[in-house]
Amino acid sequence: MQRSANYEEVGLVIPDDRLPEFTNDHHQNVRQATDDNQVQGELPDGSDLARGRGYNAFWVDPGSQFGRVRGQSRTSWITYPEDGRIPFSQQGNDLRSAAYARRGNDGPEGRSLGERCIIGFGSTGGPPMNNVLYNNMYQFVQTDDYLMILVEMVHDTRIIPINGQHRPDALEPWLGDSVGYWDGDTLVVETVNLHPQQSPRNAAPLSAEGKIVERFTRYSDDQILYEFEVSDPVYYTEDWRGEMTFNTTDTKPYEYACHEGNYGLTGILAGARRLELEPASD
């Protein structure tokens, strides 16, 4: 979502005449990162548990091209501030650091919401909705009164009433409290009251004073322009904005069968208990 320091000098939009140069550099970086994460030679013997245990790591494909929005190659989804970086305040950074410090292996509550099969990894469910390495399919179902967005990652579903009212502040649902309304041909969705356990780990954390506004516009027959603006005086020094594109496809999302019977979390906690039995190193 944010702009890498590698592209500070080029800004938001990569000029067409420089696209081959940056694409080649990006491809080389992706290839190097992929090679660094491959297990070379024989299979791991178990002595180094940090390598070779990634779930389906062989199939991970981070891509070698830049995302395109409005026909332009972009260096980030963030369009403002101009540096393409999220303008976290000191208080916002402190809140995020405190949330990550609470992570641990004492019980399931210390693990991420994605590992617990509650909501998707990497803010795929949003808001704002963000792409990750895999499971980036979204299905939109629109009626006169509702917009439903089915998210492939961890089977999140957003059900957004059109011309509805926000629920009481005491209700803090996963993915927030969203209502929509039409602004011409653009559907505007306003979200408040993110669940407090979700917020610090979200791509755009929100306090009780925060708000996220998303805009969905049919840019062409094959694309939806997705814009978002994040406002929160607690987490950020100023409002910030971004945009990306949803492209149509003829394929369908597969079920993401992450549920209470998933043994991955059991393995994580069991591994932590096993490490606790190891004698302390000098």
Q: What is the pLDDT of residues 201-224, one digit of tens each?
A: 788 999 999 999 999 999 999 999
When mean pLDDT is compared over 118-132, 215-229, 258-272, the highest value belongs to 215-229
192's enclosing H/E stretch is strand 186-192
Instruction: Count the alpha carbons within 13 Å of 49 in the hemisphere toward its beta carbon.
Output: 6
Model confidence over 32-54: pLDDT tens digits? 555 555 544 445 555 555 555 55
CA-based nearest residue to 243, from 267, 263, 274, 219 = 219
Report the pLDDT value the prediction gives residue 191, as an integer from 0 to 100. 97
For the record, the structure tokens of 98 come out as: 């405190």
Report the pLDDT value the prediction gives residue 236, as an integer from 0 to 100. 97
Q: How far apart are CA 268 and CA 272, in angstroms?
A: 6
Sequence-distant contacts of 63-66: CB under 8 A, at least 24 apart: 63/30, 64/23, 64/26, 64/27, 64/30, 64/31, 65/23, 65/26, 66/14, 66/19, 66/22, 66/23, 66/26
Q: What are the residues whose beta carbons fall under 8 Å from the beta carbon of 98, sequence distance 6 or more?
A: 200
* Phi (first) and psi of residue 84, to 5 degrees: 70, 20
pLDDT band per the 50, 70, 90 thresholds, residue 59: low
Residue 192, pLDDT above cutoff 90: yes
For the record, the structure tokens of 252 come out as: 């369908």
- How many angstroms separate the first and last alpha carbons of the chain? 42
Report the pLDDT value the prediction gives residue 256, as an integer from 0 to 100. 86
**pTM > 0.75: yes or no:** yes
Residue 27, pLDDT above cutoff 80: no
Among 58-62, 143-147, 262-266, the minimum mean pLDDT is found in 58-62
Indicate the burial class of 92 (C-beta count within 10 angstroms; 0-12, 13-18, 19 or more): buried
